[in-house]
Structure 1
Amino acid sequence: MAIPDPTAAGMAPLTTVSTRTAGQRLAPHAKSFGNFLVVILLTYLGLLAVTFFIGRVIPIDPVLAIVGDRAPAHVIERARQELGLDKPIYQQFYIYLSKVLKGDFGTSVLTANPVMTDIKRAFPATLELASLGILIGAGLGVPLGVWAAVRRGKFVDQVVRVIGLVGYSVPIFWLGLMALVVFYARLGWVSGPGRIDVTYEYTLTPVTGLLLLDTAMAGEWEAFRNVFSHLILPASLLGYFALAYISRMTRSFMLNELAQEYVIAARAKGLSESRIIWRHALRNAMVPLVTVIALSYAGLLEGSVLTETVFAWPGLGLYITNSLQNADMNAVLGGTIIVGSIFVGLNLLSDVLYKLLDPRTRIR
């Protein structure tokens, strides 16, 4: 008996049906990815535009910062032409945008180095400081917030709330100075300002710029202890301020989850209280908490200016501060763009993690 041809009967081949189904399944994902890219491009374009126009309205003349205010008029005019500041504002923005997209932020007046070179040197110090700070803040803040929510209205809850209130209220520069006086000057438990002692600074060859990692990779354990002794105090200070915010938000999210019906149902089924809290309620609370931790990390990466100033920490915050004080606008704008990019990147990362943790947000 002859096998009927499916195409002759008006039926599509099986391979065509499968391909079409796969295409229909991939279409929403492709559309979502396209929208994602558009959001990234528009966000970065807005960031560059805001940064550029803020740099133009600040009452600091970049030409005078380069040639000095006593330079002859023809020298000032020539420098203005070479920098393109004599062109219309839209042409200046186009030139600025084309250079930034190539990674060219200009030359620093303060150091005479390319701004990107200075940022590559300073950013690892801030990254190391903020990373240890967020590990301390999230590692302690989440359990404290959960504990406060479970013991709502009791002594533990009050203590956690007071810790958070102090973290919000006390100026970070004052707390940093007091910490130096107590733990460095009086007790001698930690090393003082700076990132590493001069004894080890010129014997260590940086590889990643993260001195804890570099000393560990080189097997220089005395230098490792010295770096850690310098790092632990400012990192703990930043971690405390992150802890204040994260514990407060964790408490709020957990109180909301513990009032849900699934918690009541789990208790009715006889599940242990620890399993309900840590495996069910906290798991659901982690969905919005990921965004909180990511933004806290971004805040530590850009908001450690005062901490780096107090502890003479050679990071990005101190670099931007010194550049602003010396009217080095190329360095200021370059550092601002890096900080803005960090915020954008961590926001996008938190969105991705949000979708991974919460199946309801995924495309079906």
Structure 2
Amino acid sequence: MSAVETRQSGRTSGRRATEFALAVARFLVIAITTYLGLLAVTFFIGRVIPIDPALAVLGDRALPSVVERTRREMGLDLPLIQQFYLYIKNALSGDFGNSVLTTNPVMTDLRRAFPATIELATLGTLIGSVIGVPLGVLAAVRRGSLTDQFVRVIGLLGYSIPIFWLGLLALVLFYAKLQWVAYPGRIDIVYEYSFTPVTGFYLLDSAMQGQWDVFRDVARHIILPASLLGYFSLAYISRMTRSFMLNELTQEYIVAARAKGLSETRIIWGHALRNAAVPLVTVIALSYAGLLEGSVLTETVFSWPGIGLYITNSLQNADMNAVLGGTILIGSVFIGINLLSDLLYRVLDPRTKAA
């Protein structure tokens, strides 16, 4: 390699390193700014709600002197800016205070409840993706046919039907009438005290420990709420898959592939879907984040002991520490998945590298 080529290679490497450093810096700035915005929103919501945190801890019959002392201990007598600084400091260290409802540290309750929500949302996303992507592809390939109309109606119903109404209807049919699934909850009381979870994911823990009777019981409890979440995820994923595939099927490389005599199956699944998979990764990631933060009604209907049910019970008992802690956790996960999906899109799509 000549000296000129060596210098050009060095400049290219230096430019790529600079671009990568700038991309990382932008990513960090966006993440930090968004998270601080989330903390600011939750802080001011906690201050404008007409609930005195001291009274929520002590009760309405507490003596005024005790209430005043508790307010000082909680820092509620400090200037608002100083309260906000302490709030950020505590939140960054994972200290959201104690729950009025359970008397435990909020972070302890969140560690217990969050795996249940992750397990439910993950299974729901898998169901939605495994069924939704093929349906979207089929609808795009047979555009305007009865199959296409059927898939679009399925998606429209998924957007339109309230999930709590569909959940109650599913319980009446599959649990009360047909008895195909177990009653609401996460695990039968027979196994609740004999089964020791390790990771908090009951399906994984029971399989790793070889307790297949527990695995079957947990599966019978989770299948119905996960299927409902999967249906709503399917509605979004199938619609977006159809849109991406319709765009890809009109591209010139599809015409060239057909001119070369490639089979329609290879063209659709090997070429069109491969290119559509780049934005589809972002869609599935955002759908997953949506199930994590939007499963409140599902968990309430099915008595699923996750973050959604925890926040609902906390709201009903004016437990604002728990509500704000759960909101921050869900918001943080949503921000993280959103930024990660954007990063994956940039990695997988060569056009964004050239931009």
Taking structure 2 as the reference length, what is the TM-score of the superposition?
A: 0.95
Q: Once structures 1 and 2 are overlaid, which stretch shifts more, 112-121 or 75-84?
A: 75-84
How far the C-alpha of 1:65 sits from its partner, in A, is 0.6
Alignment counterpart, residue 187 of structure 1, candidates 178, 194, 206: 178
- Partner residue of 1:46? 37
CA, structure 1 residues 250+18, in 2 after alignment: closer, same or farther (shift >3 Å)? closer
Cα pair 1:126 1:301 within 8 Å, conserved = yes
Task: State whether structure 2 residue 237 is matched by structure 1 residue 246.
Answer: yes
Residues 1-364 of structure 1 mapped to structure 2, 5 A cutoff: 22-362=13-353
How far the C-alpha of 1:16 sits from its partner, in A, is 8.7
Q: Distance in 1 between matches of 2:194 and 2:345?
A: 44
Bigger Rg, which one: 1
Cα deviation 1:29-86 (Å, max 9, x = unaligned) = 1121122111111111111111111111122221111111221211111111111111
Cα deviation 1:311-355 (Å, max 9, x = unaligned) = 111000000010011111110010001111111111111112112
Q: Once structures 1 and 2 are overlaid, which stretch shifts more, 110-119 or 28-37?
A: 28-37
Cα deviation 1:95-130 (Å, max 9, x = unaligned) = 000111111111101100000000000001111111
CA, structure 1 residues 100+363, in 2 after alignment: closer, same or farther (shift >3 Å)? farther
Residue segments in structure 1 that go unaligned for 5+ positions in a row: 1-11
Q: Distance in 1 between matches of 2:271 and 2:194?
A: 51
Q: What amino acid maps onto 1:344 in structure 2?
A: I
How far the C-alpha of 1:22 sits from its partner, in A, is 4.0
Count how many residue pairs are aligned between Structure 1 and Structure 2. Answer: 354
Cα pair 1:263 1:281 within 8 Å, conserved = yes
Q: Identity of paired residues, percent?
A: 73
Residue segments in structure 2 that go unaligned for 5+ positions in a row: none
Q: Distance in 2 between matches of 1:17 and 1:177?
A: 67
Taking structure 1 as the reference length, what is the TM-score of the superposition?
A: 0.93
Q: Distance in 2 between matches of 1:103 and 1:235?
A: 29
Q: Distance in 1 between matches of 2:9 and 2:284?
A: 42
Q: What amino acid maps onto 1:98 in structure 2?
A: K
How far the C-alpha of 1:195 sits from its partner, in A, is 0.5
CA, structure 1 residues 229+174, in 2 after alignment: closer, same or farther (shift >3 Å)? same
How far the C-alpha of 1:135 sits from its partner, in A, is 0.1
